[in-house]
Amino acid sequence: MANEMAKVCNALNIDTWEVVRAAATKPFGFMPFYPGPGIGGHCIPLDPHYLSWKARQHGFDSQFITLAEQINSGMPKYVVELVRDALNGNQKSVNGSKILILGVAYKKDIDDMRESPALSVIDLLRSQGAEVVYHDAFVPEVTFDHAYTIGAGDPLYNQELTDELIKSADCVVICTEHSGVDYKNVCELSSVIVDTRNALKEETRDGSKAKIVRL
């Protein structure tokens, strides 16, 4: 629901994260959930399918589980659409652009790549002709299964997050908000940023000349 609400808010030109913060001020009966570039890990992307499969064996169609999976699995494509639109605003296309991915593990401050949505984001961008590089201090190498890859499928290797690397990117995409990244510096040196994790807090964005698109 959080991911679908992010799409609705974007269509209405409303700040998704502001809506969640406002709703969380309710003193009872509300637990905040946040959108992201997709879901990862070994549990949420897989376990609901086991329940759905078992339900079908007993003649029950668990439509909500199916719908949730469709929305969640479609988020990487939506992120790429945000990247495309942001680049278009700078009169650039995805094809031929250099895209820097910040964070490829499926959640912050770990090295677990299982079902990470960043893999799909990278794959989709490369299939559209982008040059993709990434920085993730927890993940030295990213490999792709050629049987399921629509992009180049070649492995990628962690790049040191230097000022030169940030400046060279046509667009920076924050897929995982690792704590060790100097996001204020990223804002100061980037031209376009797509922030899928609300990593760029208001004080971080202050004074930035970068075009910032948030999920």
Tens of pLDDT, residue by residue over 42-51, are 888 788 888 8
CA 8-80-96 angle, to 5 degrees, is 150
User: What span, in angstroms and rounded, lies between the C-alpha atoms of 139 and 157?
Assistant: 8
pLDDT exceeds 80 at position 147:
no
Residue 138 pLDDT greater than 90, yes or no: yes
Least confident of 27-41, 42-56, 149-163, 189-203: 42-56
The secondary structure of residue 158, as a DSSP letter, is: B
Calculate the average pLDDT of the chain.
Answer: 94
CA distances from 124 to 51, 82, 178, 180, 187 (A): 29, 12, 22, 27, 24
Q: Active-site residues: which are they?
A: 43
Structural domains of the chain ordered from first start: 75-214 (3.40.50.720)
- CA dist 94 → 9, 86, 124 (Å): 24, 10, 10
Please count the other Cβ atoms lying within 10 Å of the Cβ belonging to residue 144. 18
Please say whether the beta carbons of 185 and 199 come within 8 A. no
- Total-model pTM: 0.93
* Type of residue numbered 144: F
Chain length of the chain: 215
Looking at the predicted structure, is the pLDDT value of residue 166 above 90?
A: yes
How confident is the model at residue 167, as a pLDDT? 97
pLDDT at 133: 98
List the structure tokens of 43. Answer: 């549990």
127 three-state secondary structure? helix
